[in-house]
């Protein structure tokens, strides 16, 4: 991060950097959920560096800290150094969808897609374990919609200096993913599915990114079906 920002600052032709951050930099795991609220790009994970870096800290908490402090560094760099470029950051939640980079085995999928594929394995009519993972957050975005957001963040002059939470309006659970698979794929039918309800105690603003970056979000069904069909094709090849 430091090297990229310093190199960009020394290169007059660089006019904008678009940084992929994460909803982890926004999310407050200890926030009171007794009343409904909606996270926006104005929110920041409240972890301190000492909390995130402490030897007893869990990997999940350390990850949230790493995302926050990496993004904070970028904003602080732009504010203090006044380089010839501006900054846009995107903070997506769980990111699912078909892959375009070379992946020939399900075992090589990134973590988010691997979670969906593990659900496919659980609901397979030949599977014995129908237990499902529990989503840490109920928000997601299709990787193709996130990619479009990145492109638009580069080419739209008016969005310089902005931070966006890019998220589909539809909530997800792995139970919903299992239900979709059972409805869409013959091989996934016949398994008793675990009931799961998506967390509705809070929201996430994906509307601002959709409006200002011109993004139209895909449905969770489309994302699940196209990813699972792709990965199953890999397995059958």
Architecture in CATH for domain 2-236? 3-Layer(aba) Sandwich (3.40)
For residue range 16-61, list pLDDT tens digits in order.
Answer: 999 999 999 999 999 988 899 999 999 999 999 999 999 999 999 9
For residue range 109-132, list pLDDT tens digits in order.
Answer: 889 999 999 999 888 755 555 678
> Could you tell me the residue ranges of all domains in the chain?
2-236
Please report the pLDDT score of residue 103 as a whole number.
74
In degrees, rounded to 5, the angle at the alpha carbon of residue 96 between the alpha carbons of residues 134 and 20 is 110
- What contacts 133, CB < 8 A, 6 or more positions away? 115, 118, 119, 174
Distances in whole angstroms, Cα of residue 197 to Cα of each of 135, 137, 194: 10, 12, 10
In the numeric block, the tokens 């926030």 are attached to: 31
């Amino acid at each position: 991060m430091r090297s990229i920002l310093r190199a960009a600052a020394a290169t007059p032709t660089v006019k904008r950097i678009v940084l992929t951050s994460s909803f982890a930099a926004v999310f407050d795991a200890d926030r009171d959920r007794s009343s409904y609220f909606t996270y926006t790009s104005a929110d920041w994970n409240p972890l301190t560096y000492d909390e995130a870096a402490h030897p007893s800290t869990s990997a999940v908490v350390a990850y949230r800290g790493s995302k926050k402090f990496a993004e904070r560094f970028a904003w602080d760099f732009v504010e203090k150094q006044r380089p010839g470029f501006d900054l846009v950051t995107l903070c997506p939640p769980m990111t699912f969808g078909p892959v375009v980079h070379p992946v020939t085995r399900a075992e090589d999928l990134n973590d988010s897609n691997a979670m969906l594929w593990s659900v496919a394995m659980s609901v397979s009519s030949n599977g014995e374990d129908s237990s499902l993972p529990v989503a840490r957050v109920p928000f997601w975005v299709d990787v193709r919609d996130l990619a479009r957001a990145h492109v638009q963040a580069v080419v739209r002059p008016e969005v310089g200096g902005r931070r966006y939470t890019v998220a589909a309006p539809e909530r997800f659970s792995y139970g919903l993913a299992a239900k979709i698979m059972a409805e869409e794929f013959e091989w996934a039918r016949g398994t008793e599915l675990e009931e799961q309800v998506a967390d509705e105690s809070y929201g996430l603003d994906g509307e601002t990114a959709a409006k200002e970056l011109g993004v139209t979000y895909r449905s969770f069904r489309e994302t699940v079906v196209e990813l699972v069909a792709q990965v199953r094709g890999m397995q059958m090849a």
